[in-house]
């Protein structure tokens, strides 16, 4: 079925088919009259003109009947208007049965092929819908699995530290009190960051995991990300390299800022290094790329094959909530996928790096305008 029909009701499809069939037959008659005046007594080519019209009708109308009706109409027109004696029906012409059968066969074959293609298109659309639903269910499952760990651990730490403080505050030194309060503050900030991550997912909507995008200045998005991160980690040095030219990229700025912050924060926490982290933004012909590169211990080998499945990974083997990065990477991948970009992670000679890309044009079947 013509994709145009998907926007029409069944009644509107039949109305369109009627007027489209009349239009095609009218065009075929007009072209045939012109050709007949230029090249008289050339019935074969006139038949080909009507066959072409029948193919178009069969392709762009609903069902078989419009093509079959136009086939009968075309045979009568050829016989009445363009076969001698003109403007008279003569069903005794020797080639009349062959003309009729040929037109009918072509019409039926084209209509059948069109119907089969329409059914295949519907099956593919249904299959794609199921894949999208499965992807969403996988994302939900991954988030729930990660949340079950990443929420429980810092909450346990907050409860434990607060209990120690309340029960032993008289006997604790000022240094011990400061350490306990600092631990509570760190765990609370981690929970706040996780809530921000989860809230970003609510901005991704629809069966196709799409986002609402606008043309955003690349430099402003990066600057906002760095500013927000500096409030959490004022002592961390980030070497940001951004193209000098003014670049507009279609995106949801809040989501891309969250991705950038998540990847930079992972580098800060998991690299186990005080070396500056590099943020490299590059402008390519059809996309822009963001590279977050640290100079630390790198990614564990067992983690490289399933970076984005929300498994809770650690580099030290402890259950420290600040070591888990799976939920953040899973959300990052979901956001970048919704933007029709790519996200990859790998090790380099002196640490780890994550690279994500964003297309510079909006796709009609992807991002929403």
What would the mean pLDDT of 21-47 be, rounded to a whole number?
Answer: 86
pTM: 0.54
pLDDT digits (tens, 9 = 90+) for 291-333: 999 999 988 887 777 777 655 444 444 434 444 555 678 778 8
- What would the DSSP string read from start to end of 137-191? HHHHHHHHHHHHHHTHHHHHHHHHHHHHHHHHTTT--HHHHHHHHHHHHHHHHHH
Q: What average pLDDT does range 41-47 have in this prediction?
A: 79
CATH code reported for the domain at 203-359: 3.30.565.10
User: Closest Cα to residue 327, out of 130, 134, 190, 157?
Assistant: 190
Cα–Cα distance for residue pair 250/367, rounded to 1 Å: 9
For 70, 317, 324, the CA distances from 223, given in Å and listed in that order, are 64, 35, 26
Stretch 103-123: mean pLDDT: 72
Confidence of residue 241 (pLDDT cuts 50, 70, 90): very high
pLDDT reading at 364 higher than 60: no
Question: For residues 358 and 204, which has the higher predicted lDDT (pLDDT)?
Answer: 358
**Extents of the domains making up the chain:** 3-128, 203-359
Reply yes or no on whether the pLDDT at 88 is more than 70.
yes
355 φ, ψ (degrees, to nearest 5): -130, 125
Q: Who wins on pLDDT, 39 or 320?
A: 39
Please state the rounded mean pLDDT for residues 335-341. Answer: 88
Most confident of 101-110, 163-172, 245-254, 286-295: 286-295
| pLDDT for the residue numbered 60 | 80
Environment class of residue 312 by beta-carbon count within 10 Å: exposed (0-12), middle (13-18) or buried (19+)? Answer: middle
In this prediction, residue 143 carries a pLDDT of 62
Note the pLDDT of residue 55.
Answer: 81
- Beta bridge mates, 240: 279
- For residue range 203-236, list pLDDT tens digits in order: 665 555 667 788 999 999 999 999 988 888 888 9
Q: Output the pLDDT for position 100.
A: 65
Name which residue leads in pLDDT, 106 or 259: 259
For 190-252, the DSSP string reads HHHHHHHHHHHHTT-BTTTTB-B-EEEEHHHHHHHHHHHHHHH-TT--EEEE--SS--EEEE-
Pick the residue with more confidence: 145 or 318?
A: 145
User: Which two tokens mark 219?
Assistant: 């430099």
Q: What is the mean pLDDT of residues 4-14?
A: 73
Give the percent of the chain with pLDDT over 70: 78
Looking at the DSSP bridge assignments, the partners of residue 248 are: 217
């Amino acid at each position: 079925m013509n994709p145009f029909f998907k926007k029409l009701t069944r009644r509107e499809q039949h109305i369109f088919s009627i007027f489209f069939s009349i239009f095609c037959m009218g065009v075929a008659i007009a072209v045939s009259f012109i050709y007949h005046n230029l090249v008289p007594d050339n019935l074969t080519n006139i038949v080909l003109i009507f066959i072409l019209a029948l193919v178009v009708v069969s392709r762009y109308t609903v069902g078989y009947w419009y093509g079959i009706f136009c086939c009968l109409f075309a045979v009568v027109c050829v016989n009445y208007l363009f076969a001698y004696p003109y403007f008279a029906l003569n069903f005794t012409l020797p080639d009349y049965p062959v003309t009729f059968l040929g037109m009918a066969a072509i019409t039926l074959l084209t209509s059948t092929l069109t119907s089969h293609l329409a059914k295949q298109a519907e099956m593919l659309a249904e299959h794609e819908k199921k894949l999208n639903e499965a992807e969403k269910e996988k994302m939900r499952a991954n988030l729930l699995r990660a949340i079950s760990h990443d929420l429980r651990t810092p909450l346990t730490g907050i409860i434990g530290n607060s209990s120690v403080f309340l029960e032993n505050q008289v006997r604790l030194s000022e240094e011990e009190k400061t350490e306990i309060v600092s631990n509570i503050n760190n765990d609370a900030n981690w929970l706040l960051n996780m809530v921000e991550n989860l809230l970003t997912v609510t901005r991704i909507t629809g069966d196709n995991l799409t986002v609402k995008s606008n043309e955003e200045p690349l430099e402003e998005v990066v600057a906002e990300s760095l500013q927000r991160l500096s409030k959490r980690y004022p002592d961390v040095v980030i070497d940001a390299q951004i193209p000098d030219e003014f670049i507009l990229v279609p995106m949801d700025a809040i989501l891309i800022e969250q991705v950038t912050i998540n990847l930079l924060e992972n580098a800060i926490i998991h690299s186990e290094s005080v070396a500056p982290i590099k943020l490299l933004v590059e402008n390519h012909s059809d996309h822009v790329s963001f590279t977050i590169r640290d100079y630390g211990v790198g990614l564990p080998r067992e983690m490289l094959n399933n970076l984005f499945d929300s498994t809770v990974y650690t580099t030290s083997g402890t259950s420290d909530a600040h070591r888990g990065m799976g939920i953040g990477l899973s959300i990052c991948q979901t956001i970048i996928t919704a933007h029709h970009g790519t996200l990859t992670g790998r090790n380099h000679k002196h640490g780890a790096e994550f690279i994500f890309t964003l297309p510079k044009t909006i796709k009609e079947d992807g991002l929403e305008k």
